[in-house]
Each structure stands twice: as C-alpha cells, then as structure tokens.
Amino acid sequence: MLHIVDDEEVIRDSLLWLARSRDIAATAYASATEFLAALDGRRTGFEADGECLLLDVRMPDVNGIALFDLLVGRGLTRQLPVIFLTGHGDVPMAVDTLKRGAFDFFEKPLNDNKLMDRAQEALLLSRQAGSTAMIHRRLETLSAREREVLDLILEGKMNKIIADDLGISMRTVEVHRAHIFDKMQVKTAVELARLLK
C-alpha cells in the first residue's frame, strides 16, 4: 500500500492516479495528523505486500519532517520507507533525512516514472522487512527445547538422531517437531528451511 500525505488535493489526486496506473494500491491523506490517526487506529501490523509513504515536507499543522521524526522514533521506517516530496528544494534537509533513514527525496515538479519506480523499490524493501519481522515473531514463540530441535532439523537430522543427540524420546521429538511446524506455519522441513534461509 502506498500512502500519500500531501496537503494539496490536486497533488494527492495526481499521485493516486499515477499509483493506480502502475497497479499500486494507494490511499491519500490531507495531513500528517490524518495519516497518524489511521496508522494508530490499525488493528494489525503492516501489510504483507509492503507499504511506502510519499510525504510532503511543508504542510500546515504537522510538517513532513516532524512526522518522519515520529516514525523514526517508533522504529517504523524499515517497514514503512519514506519518500519525501518538496516544492522547496533544500539540499541540507534532503541529505539530513537520507542520513536518518529516508528512502529518497524528490523535488516538485516530479518525474512521475522515476517516483513510481522508487516507490515500487520501497514497497519491495518494506515487504522484505515485514517478512523478516514476521519470521522473528514466529521464532520468538518457540521454547528453548523447540529451538534446539529446530536447529537439528535444519541440519537435516532425522527424528531418531535428534532424540539421541538431545537424550529424549523419539515421540518427544515428534511432538516438538509438530509444534515447531505449527508455530512457524509450515508443513515440511523443506518449507521450514526455505523460510529460514
């Protein structure tokens, strides 16, 4: 999902049309406050297909830099890469935001194709970050013993060998293996290896 935050309606409409012309799902907000309300009102995390924020620098109320600072403070800029848009080119500001984790910085008038190309790259990065975070959340649900069994499964060891290595029964290994597959949401050791490679 591409999020567009700009106080100018004509810019929002133009960017929405441009995103949809590239088959990118998009939504627009007239202010940083409106976007934050939507972000804070979510019941779930970030979308599996990735998310990106096109953010105008100069807006009344809360400007783009202040919103960016808030997102950086919350540690959200990997899962929600920010591309700044500004009609007032400011090289030091661009350099500063890029150093602090902004994905890119575009001056208006925009090169539509370059902007959408970068948005698609940001969506891919977000998707990858989201997948990594999801895998870590699943791994955190495993017990210490399940982690030991997981490591041995990934080494390609059979249940009997795992049981011997850990000094537990084969039935216990089977139970741990079932729990691991369930928690990691896979059906086979091959899927598990693919997920964790």
3-state secondary structure 47-106: CCCCCEEEEECCCCCCCHHHHHHHHHHCCCCCCCCEEEEECCCCHHHHHHHHHCCCCEEE
Do 108 and 87 touch, CB atoms closer than 8 A?
A: yes
User: Which CATH entry fits the domain spanning 2-138: 3.40.50.2300, 3.40.50.720, 3.30.70.260, 1.10.3720.10?
Assistant: 3.40.50.2300
Separation CA 191–CA 197 (nearest Å): 10
- Do 141-196 and 2-138 fall under one CATH topology? no
Q: Which of 11, 137, 162 is nearest to 85 (CA)?
A: 11
Retrieve residue 66's tokens: 């202040």
Task: Going residue by residue through the chain, which has 197 residues, state the pLDDT in tens, using 9 for 90 and above.
Answer: 999 999 999 999 999 999 999 999 999 999 999 999 998 887 666 666 789 999 999 888 889 999 999 999 988 888 899 999 988 767 788 888 888 889 999 988 888 899 999 999 999 988 887 777 778 888 999 999 999 999 999 998 999 999 999 999 999 999 999 999 999 988 888 888 888 87
Do 165 and 155 touch, CB atoms closer than 8 A?
A: no
Q: Model pTM greater than 0.75?
A: no
Where are the chain's structural domains?
A: 2-138, 141-196
- What spatial distance separates the first Cα and last Cα of the chain, rounded to whole Å? 26
Class at the top of the CATH hierarchy for domain 141-196 = mainly alpha
